[in-house]
């Protein structure tokens, strides 16, 4: 099947072509959902974020000038949406900190450990050590200073590694 | 005894240290088996963490597609409504202008005759 160029799809979507927009957004759907799921640790919330990001992209695509990549632009929107959900969640409920779902897959195991981190630490370690954002970019996204990002990151790394090593020792004793 | 914090080791692996500190850690890893062991632990940890970027989840729900169709329909409806309103207003203004022109014409013609 012919793969229509991203630039062409953006052009059509900017004119209000729904089909082009769907094709374009589908290319990012899984990544956006995965990022949201990892930050929020909840499938339903991640699906809400996915929908909100799609709506925001539809509304603001005309303002997208292509200075950064579409991917970077969408990631920022996703992180902002996740932060909004976390702020809202703080005043309503919080996820259980210990979810014991042992998994044979290392990726799922790490995701399970990530869910046990405090929210801010989870966001920072994901953005820095998985998605390679700079300290300045993360600071802007979570509305803090780069220095504070470093502090949070250090705590997150230490805590996650301790959990990771704890899990490994537990497996060795089995 | 030469020692190094976990924070520095983590920063070393992630390439966040300035060159002089990086060189210092290089030497430490070479010379101390204990530092080397801790370095390898951290390295394994970051390698596993980095695996996440290659792995994605599939959403079970595609509500966003419906939401976009609805949004696009609403926008189309609003646009059409706006165009209709502009049409009506233009029509009204046109009629008023035409009536005014007719009245003016008759008034001027009558006055002359």
pLDDT of residue A4: 77
CA atoms within 13 A on the CB side of A85: 27
Reference A138, options A147, A129, A127, A153; nearest CA is: A127
pLDDT of residue A103: 47
Q: Do B52 and A158 touch (CB under 8 A)?
A: no
Q: Which tokens belong to A113? A: 């450990």
Q: Record the pTM.
A: 0.75
DSSP B18-87: -HHHHHHHHHHHHH-HHHHHHHHHHHHHHHHHHHGGG--PPPS--HHHHHHHHHHHHHHHHHHHHHHHHH
Q: What is the mean pLDDT of the segment spanning A163-171?
A: 76
Q: Which tokens belong to B41? A: 């632990």
Confidence check: pLDDT of B61 > 90? no
Q: Where are the domains of chain A?
A: 1-95, 99-174
DSSP A104-166: SSHHHHHHHHHHTS-HHHHHHHIIIIIT---HHHHHHHHTS-HHHHHHHHHHHHHHHHHHHHH
Least confident of A34-38, A86-90, B72-76: A86-90
SS3 content of chain A, % helix, strand, coil (to 5): 75, 0, 25
Mean pLDDT of all residues belonging to chain B: 90
Q: Do B41 and A161 touch (CB under 8 A)?
A: yes
Tens digits of residue pLDDT in B13-31:
999 999 999 999 999 999 9
Report whether A25 contacts A54 (CB < 8 A).
Answer: yes
More confident residue, A131 or A98: A131
Q: What is the mean pLDDT of the segment spanning A123-128?
A: 94
Would you list which residues of chain A are within 8 Å, Cβ to Cβ, of chain B? 16, 18, 21-22, 25, 29-31, 33-34, 37-38, 43, 46-47, 50-51, 53-55, 58-59, 106-107, 110-111, 125-126, 128-132, 154, 157-158, 160-161, 164-165
Confidence check: pLDDT of A170 > 70? no
Residues in chain B: 113
pLDDT of residue B37: 94
Partners of B67 on chain A (C-beta within 8 Å) are 51, 54-55
Tens digits of residue pLDDT in B85-112:
999 999 999 999 999 999 998 888 877 7
Q: What is the mean pLDDT of the segment spanning B51-59?
A: 86
Q: Which tokens belong to A97? A: 């900190």
Q: How confident is the model at residue A99 (pLDDT cuts 50, 70, 90)?
A: very low
User: Cα distance from A67 to chain B (closest Cα, Å)?
Assistant: 24
Q: What is the mean pLDDT of the segment spanning A157-162?
A: 94
Q: What is the mean pLDDT of the segment spanning B63-81?
A: 89
Q: How confident is the model at residue A49 (pLDDT cuts 50, 70, 90)?
A: very high
Report whether A85 contacts A49 (CB < 8 A).
Answer: yes
3-state secondary structure of B13: helix
More confident residue, B75 or A173: B75
The Cα B38–Cα B111 span in angstroms is: 107
Q: Do B6 and A46 touch (CB under 8 A)?
A: no
Above pLDDT 90, what percent of chain B?
65
Q: How confident is the model at residue A139 (pLDDT cuts 50, 70, 90)?
A: very high
Q: What is the mean pLDDT of the segment spanning A2-20?
A: 87
pLDDT of residue A65: 83
Dihedral angle computed from the Cα positions of residues B2, B3, B8 and B10, in that order, rounded to the nearest 10 degrees: 110
Q: Which class in CATH covers the domain with range A1-95?
A: mainly alpha
Residue range A99-174 in CATH 1.10.10.10: yes
Residues in chain A: 174
pLDDT of residue B27: 94
């Amino acid at each position: 099947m012919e793969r229509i160029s991203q630039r062409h799809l953006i052009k059509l979507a900017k004119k209000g072509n729904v089909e082009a927009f769907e094709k374009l957004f589908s290319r990012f759907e899984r990544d956006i959902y995965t990022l949201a799921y990892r930050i929020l640790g909840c499938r339903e919330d991640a699906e809400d974020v996915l929908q909100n990001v799609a709506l925001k992209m539809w509304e603001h695509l005309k303002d997208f000038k292509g200075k950064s990549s579409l991917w970077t632009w969408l990631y920022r929107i996703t992180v902002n949406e996740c932060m909004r959900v976390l702020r809202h969640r703080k005043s309503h409920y919080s996820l259980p900190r210990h979810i014991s779902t042992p998994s044979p897959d290392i990726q799922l195991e790490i995701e399970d450990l990530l869910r046990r981190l405090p929210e801010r630490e989870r966001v920072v370690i994901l953005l820095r050590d998985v998605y390679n954002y700079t300290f300045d970019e993360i600071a802007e996204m979570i509305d803090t200073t780069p220095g504070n990002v470093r502090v949070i990151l250090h705590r997150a790394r230490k805590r996650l590694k301790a959990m990771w090593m704890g899990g490994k020792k537990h497996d060795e004793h089995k | 005894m030469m020692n190094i914090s976990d924070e520095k080791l983590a920063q070393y692996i992630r390439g966040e240290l300035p060159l002089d500190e990086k060189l210092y850690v290089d030497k430490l890893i070479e010379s101390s088996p204990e530092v080397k062991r801790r370095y390898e632990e951290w390295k394994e940890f970051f390698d596993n963490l980095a695996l996440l970027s290659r792995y994605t989840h599939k959403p079970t729900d595609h509500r966003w597609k419906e939401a976009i169709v609805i949004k696009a329909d609403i926008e189309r409806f609003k646009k059409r409504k706006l165009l209709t309103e502009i049409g009506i207003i233009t029509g009204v203004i046109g009629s008023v202008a035409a009536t005014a022109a007719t009245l003016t014409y008759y008034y001027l013609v009558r006055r002359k005759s």
